[in-house]
Chain A
Amino acid sequence: ELKVEQNPLFLSMQEGKNYTIYCNYSTTSDRLYWYRQDPGKSLESLFVLLSNGAVKQEGRLMASLDTKARLSTLHITAAVHDLSATYFCAVNNDMRFGAGTRLTVKP
Chain B
Amino acid sequence: ETGVTQSPTHLIKTRGQQVTLRCSSQSGHNTVSWYQQALGQGPQFIFQYYREEENGRGNFPPRFSGLQFPNYSSELNVNALELDDSALYLCASSLGGGVNYGYTFGSGTRLTVV
With contact pairs A42-B90, A42-B106 given, residues A94 and B101 touching in the complex (Cβ less than 8 Å)? no
Binds A, one of B13-21, B39-47, B64-72, B77-85: B39-47
With contact pairs A33-B103, A42-B105, A45-B104 given, residues A98 and B98 touching in the complex (Cβ less than 8 Å)? no
Q: Does A41 contact B (CB under 8 A)?
A: yes
A99 touches B42 (CB 8 A): yes
Q: Does B23 contact A (CB under 8 A)?
A: no
With contact pairs A31-B97, A43-B90 given, residues A95 and B107 touching in the complex (Cβ less than 8 Å)? no
Find the B residue at minimum CB distance from A96: B45
How many residues in B have their beta carbons less than 8 Å from beta carbons of A? 25
Cross-interface CB contact of B42 among A31, A50, A88, cutoff 8 Å = A88
How many residues in A have their beta carbons less than 8 Å from beta carbons of B? 22
| Residues of chain A in range 38-72 having any CB-CB distance to chain B below 8 Å | 41-48, 50
- Give every chain A residue within 8 A of B8 (Cβ-Cβ): none
B102 touches A45 (CB 8 A): yes
Give 3 closest A-B pairs by Cβ, nearest first.
Answer: A45-B102, A97-B42, A93-B97
Q: Which residues of B contact A (CB under 8 A)?
A: 33, 35, 41-45, 48, 55-56, 58, 90, 92, 97-108
Q: Which residues of A contact B (CB under 8 A)?
A: 31, 33, 35, 41-48, 50, 88, 90, 93-100
